[in-house]
Amino acid sequence: MRRASKPKTTQSRGISKPSVQRLAASPALHPPPKSEFYIGEDSRLKAVEDVDVFSRHPSPRALGGAADAASKFPGGRTTAGYPYLLQRLSDHVYSVCAYCRDPSLGARFVFKKIKGFKRAVWVPPPNCGLGGTDAPAGAAVVDTLHLHMVDKSNGRSRLTGEALCRSVSSETTHLFINSFKDAPALADAISRCGALQVVTIFESNVSQAVVEALAAKGASLRGLLIDKCTPDGLGTGDGCWASLFAASPGLLWCTLNMSVGWPFGAHSWETLPTSLRALSVTQPMYGVGAAQPAEVEALATAAKRLPALKWLKIGNADPGL
């Protein structure tokens, strides 16, 4: 596989004019303020390694997980291990949840060297991480982004469509999906949920039916992360993405990154809600189905119409963030 050059990192300054990561490198930014509503790096914080969090707060048995110890996974309990990778993803998700519940809390990360590379590690506000007193819990959350949901022998998800659909209900307001390839079951599960507030989907298949199911929950949707996912039958998808944004007038956080292709078009951004505080739309690092400059420019132009935006990334996916 041809190696791509390492992109430069752009950070949000947390002020009225957001930073932009474009296809071209952006200039270095001043140290960010640490005010309320801020999104970005905060070097005052410390990222805590706590892979035992999954044992203290196990996934519901109905999801079909297995309580394997962190030491049994590749890399074990080390910083370079798979359990800590999953903890970092969980911390990112719960940081977004906290922000969507109360934007004045902000959303902050620190940079940490992992496997020789500088990585952003999100730090949830106090009591807002997995199992925290201020985190979504009980029937309100179905969280499959959990070590117990991964088969230690092959890294595959233990989640089935049947278990997922059985676990959600009209009380589900937070849905976190990881490594799930059954797009029809995902769309069905989303439809079975109640007034969804935050939905995160990592390394899964996303179809037009999934996007349409999300749009049906748009009235209550405040946070959406679709990261390193594979388009399942999506073309440019102008219609379904525009419908999703139009149906989500209170959306605060939106992350869209596909591992293959750029299933968006210029018209996808015409209905971006003015409520957005964080917007990240990135493309594959290795140039597979990369966006055309005109498509990226259309998104950048649309973002200028978002008065509340604090954090903006457009262009190549940055492995550090």
The chain-wide mean pLDDT, for the chain, equals: 86
| Least reliable range by pLDDT among 29-38, 100-109, 115-124, 207-216 | 29-38
| Alpha carbons 281 and 22: distance in angstroms, whole number | 10
pLDDT at residue 29 above 70?
no
Is there a domain that residue 55 lies in?
yes
Higher pLDDT, 293 or 271: 271
Is there a domain that residue 9 lies in?
no
CB 204 within 8 A of CB 184: no
pLDDT score recorded for residue 230: 92
Token pair listed for 50: 């706590």
Q: Closest by alpha carbon to 91, among 66, 142, 54, 56? A: 54
| Alpha carbons 230 and 246: distance in angstroms, whole number | 23
pLDDT score recorded for residue 263: 83
**pLDDT-based confidence at residue 28 (cuts at 50, 70, 90):** very low
pLDDT score recorded for residue 1: 38
| Alpha carbons 33 and 14: distance in angstroms, whole number | 7
- The predicted-structure confidence for 146-173, as pLDDT tens digits, reads as follows 999 999 988 899 999 999 999 999 999 9
Token pair listed for 15: 């002020």
**pLDDT-based confidence at residue 320 (cuts at 50, 70, 90):** low
Is there a domain that residue 7 lies in?
no
Q: Tokens 């496997």 correspond to what residue?
A: 115
CB 261 within 8 A of CB 205: no
The whole model's pTM is what? 0.88
**pLDDT-based confidence at residue 132 (cuts at 50, 70, 90):** very high
Residues with Cβ within 8 Å of residue 294, at least 6 apart in sequence: 266
Is there a domain that residue 144 lies in?
yes
pLDDT at residue 297 above 90?
no
Average pLDDT over residues 182-197: 98
**pLDDT-based confidence at residue 289 (cuts at 50, 70, 90):** low
pLDDT score recorded for residue 211: 96
| Alpha carbons 144 and 125: distance in angstroms, whole number | 21
Higher pLDDT, 144 or 318: 144
pLDDT at residue 288 above 60?
no
| Least reliable range by pLDDT among 3-12, 63-72, 156-165, 298-307 | 3-12
- Determine the structural domain holding residue 151 and report its residue range: 39-316
**pLDDT-based confidence at residue 284 (cuts at 50, 70, 90):** low
pLDDT score recorded for residue 197: 98
Dihedral over alpha carbons 31, 35, 41, 42 (to 10 degrees): 90
**pLDDT-based confidence at residue 305 (cuts at 50, 70, 90):** very high
- The predicted-structure confidence for 80-89, as pLDDT tens digits, reads as follows 999 999 999 9
pLDDT score recorded for residue 234: 84
pLDDT score recorded for residue 16: 35
- The CATH number assigned to the domain holding 123 equals 3.80.10.10
CB 123 within 8 A of CB 109: yes
Average pLDDT over residues 26-50: 71
pLDDT score recorded for residue 13: 35
pLDDT at residue 23 above 60?
no
pLDDT at residue 279 above 70?
yes
Percent pLDDT > 70 in the chain is 84
Is there a domain that residue 6 lies in?
no
| Alpha carbons 121 and 50: distance in angstroms, whole number | 13
| Alpha carbons 286 and 316: distance in angstroms, whole number | 9
Is there a domain that residue 30 lies in?
no
- How many domains would you assign to the chain? 1
Q: Is 308 exposed, middle or buried (0-12, 13-18, 19+ CB in 10 A)?
A: middle
Is there a domain that residue 86 lies in?
yes
- The predicted-structure confidence for 213-257, as pLDDT tens digits, reads as follows 999 999 999 999 999 999 998 876 668 999 999 999 999 999 999
Distances (CA, A) of 160 to 136, 141, 189, 195, 224: 23, 17, 11, 23, 22
Is there a domain that residue 298 lies in?
yes
